């Protein structure tokens, strides 16, 4: 019964790690999209961008100052950076998220290996109990 509890606990931990991986991947994709938008904005002749306003709706908007970018740096702190510096900041953030993804993935793999080992032990115990409980054939 103790092994079954460990298996359940490990399963719950694995779900949490999978959620963390999903959050990291979403953050990485969001930062990549922001980099693309910032680079496209500088390349645009008229500073027009497609601005998502929610609910799947977008509008074309003209950016008045494409070189002044407001960047959230954490703890609800926002700073103004140049377009180039904002892109570099986001690239650094992506690298950090990728490193975190690697660490979480490695931990998840170790956890899954432990879960596989526990499952094998449970199956072995079940087989042993079935063999002990099976009637013996007479010779």
Q: Considering only residues 136 and 114, tell me which one the structure prediction assigns the higher pLDDT.
A: 114
* Residue recorded with tokens 């908007």: 61
User: If you average pLDDT over every residue of the chain, what do you get?
Assistant: 89
Class in CATH terms, 2-123? mainly alpha
Confirm if 47 and 66 have CB atoms less than 8 A apart: yes
- pLDDT at position 52 is 84
- pLDDT at position 1 is 64
In the predicted model, what is the mean pLDDT of residues 115-138? 78
Q: Considering only residues 27 and 40, tell me which one the structure prediction assigns the higher pLDDT.
A: 27
- Residue 93: which of 40, 32, 37 has the closest Cα? 32
Q: In the numeric block, which tokens belong to residue 67?
A: 């070189």
Contacting residues for 30 by C-beta, under 8 A, at least 6 apart: none
- pLDDT at position 117 is 92
Domains of the chain: which residue ranges?
Answer: 2-123
Question: Which helix (H) or strand (E) covers residue 128, if one does?
Answer: helix 83-133
Confirm if 118 and 6 have CB atoms less than 8 A apart: yes
Confirm if 3 and 111 have CB atoms less than 8 A apart: no
E-assigned strand segments in the chain:
48-54, 57-62, 68-74, 77-82
Residue 13 has pLDDT above 80, yes or no: yes
Number of other residues whose CB lies within 10 A of the CB of residue 70: 9
d(CA 139, CA 134): 16
Condensed to tens digits (0 to 9), the pLDDT of residues 60-100 reads 888 889 899 999 988 999 999 999 999 999 999 999 999 99
Residue 136 has pLDDT above 80, yes or no: no
């Amino acid at each position: 019964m103790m092994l079954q509890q460990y298996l359940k606990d490990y399963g719950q931990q694995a779900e949490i790690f999978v959620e963390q991986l999903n959050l990291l991947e979403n953050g990485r994709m969001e930062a990549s999209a922001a980099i693309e938008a910032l680079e496209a904005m500088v390349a645009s002749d008229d500073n027009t961008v497609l601005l998502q306003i929610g609910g799947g709706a977008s509008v074309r908007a003209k950016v008045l100052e494409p070189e002044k970018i407001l960047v959230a740096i954490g703890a609800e702190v926002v700073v103004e950076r140049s377009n180039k510096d904002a892109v570099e900041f986001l690239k650094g953030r992506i690298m950090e998220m990728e490193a975190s993804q690697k660490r979480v993935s490695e931990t998840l793999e170790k956890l899954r290996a432990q879960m596989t080992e526990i499952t094998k032990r449970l199956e072995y115990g079940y087989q042993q109990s079935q063999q002990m409980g099976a009637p013996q054939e007479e010779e």
